[in-house]
A = this chain, B = another copy of it.
Amino acid sequence: MVAVKLTIQYDGTGFFGLELQPGKRTVRSELAKAFKALYKQPVTYINASRTDAGVHALGQVISYEPPLAIPIGRLPEALNSFLPADIRVIGARVVGRKFHARYDAKAKEYEYLIYNGRIIPPHWRHLAWQVRGELDLTAMRRAAKYLVGRHDFSSFCAAGSDDKDKVRIIHSFVIRNSSFVIWAGQRVPVISVRVRGNGFLYKMVRNLVGTLVEVGLGQREPEDVKAILVARDRKKAGKTAPAHGLCLHRVCYN
């Protein structure tokens, strides 16, 4: 018996997050309906990463053992025909039965977008966090350097986490000026914060970004981040950045 690994994208705007919540529209509730419609029976699947309400995904990964054999090349379109347009299966691969989307993940990459200006264009309002005061990217980059490496990230973990071990490794933090393009005549400046790590605690990326933005606004010094890490106290770090700026970019496996 084999398993299937699916790569999916979703626009987080219309979902109350990924996991099931009674009476709410979630990514899982929509996937469950599509699986049932396709396989004529419920399917249990594992997702690589849990995302909150409003968070986007370009490369969420899920794994499951299919109850019926459907040619792998036809699987994305077959599932998409039962899914709403704000979730798309973009890839499908046959993997060994032991493959586990969450436990086998070696790294995850997130990108957080910040619109640093006075008037956020309407089409970006669900994709980037608007920060009005001018951000000092050099200060933010200096602060981010203290976060790279193996640390206890308790200060950046929201209450309600199941994780007992709060140690994680951040491989890289890249903060740069980027731009959105949809229509050819419009290039919208945006600040991109990309972070890659072996795993992230509950709301950790949003808490890291919220803290870096406070540094960028001059409300904290870059060096403060060292003391925040040592404190292992959520109250020492900055506010949680809003969900809609965050996108799960990629999950990496061996």
> A residues engaging B (CB < 8 A)?
9-11, 56, 58, 76-77, 80, 85-90, 109, 111, 113, 118-123, 125, 127, 178-186, 192, 194, 247, 249-250
Contacts and interface: CB of A to CB of B under 8 A. Distances in A.
25 contacts: A9-B121, A9-B123, A11-B122, A11-B123, A58-B121, A58-B185, A76-B119, A77-B118, A77-B119, A85-B122, A85-B125, A88-B119, A88-B120, A88-B121, A90-B119, A90-B121, A109-B185, A111-B185, A113-B183, A123-B127, A127-B182, A179-B181, A181-B181, A183-B247, A185-B249
Given A123-B56, A123-B127, A182 B185 contact: no
Contacts of A10: 122
Contacts of A122: 9-11, 85-88
Q: Copy number of this protein in the oligomer?
A: 2
A236 to B, nearest CB: 30
A130 B129 CA distance: 28
Contact of A119 (B80, B119, B194): B80
A111 B76 contact: no
